[in-house]
Amino acid sequence: MKNLNLFGLILIISATFKSCAQQETTKHETKTDSTMTQKEFKTNEEWQKDLTPNQYYVLRQKGTERPGTGEYNLHFEKGVYNCAGCKAPLFKSDSKFDAHCGWPSFDAAISDSTIIEIVDKTHGMIRTEIVCANCGGHLGHVFNDGPTETGIRYCVNSASLGFEDKK
């Protein structure tokens, strides 16, 4: 009888952990609006052909550029930051700020449908990865420590971005 109670307790604990793990999975739904109707699908060979080695490392292999080395870290011109993989618009320049973290930082995406958030449990941490909703390219991570009224800091690799000047 004592073994049966212990077995029941183990089953309950196991089910609880499984339930918690499922709840943490993510907000990985795809949202669409008029700007994000077509998804970009390519083979790895096509991505390697179309991207620089550093862009491929960041966008397709979920790499991270060294802090302070990216082209757009201290870039504050007026325009739109696009995905370097598929050219989808991601951020307006007026949402960019200097977070002094070594990567371009933004407090808002162009729209709710341009970025997908995914729970990232790599490197012994729990963070929220951000990917392009159009092509699935890794952009960086989002944090709830932004200094503006949104409280958000999208921390983005320069290699995942392109820029369209709006002078």
Could you give the residue numbers annotated as active site? 155
| 3-state SS assignment for residue 100 | coil
DSSP state of 66: P
Measuring CA to CA, how many Å separate 44 from each of 47, 48, 82, 89, 115? 5, 6, 21, 22, 21
Q: What long-range pairs does 99-103 form, CB within 8 A, spacing at least 24?
A: 99/146, 99/147, 99/153, 99/155, 101/67, 101/153, 101/155, 102/66, 102/67, 102/68, 102/69, 102/70, 102/73, 103/65, 103/67, 103/70, 103/73, 103/140, 103/155, 103/156, 103/157, 103/158
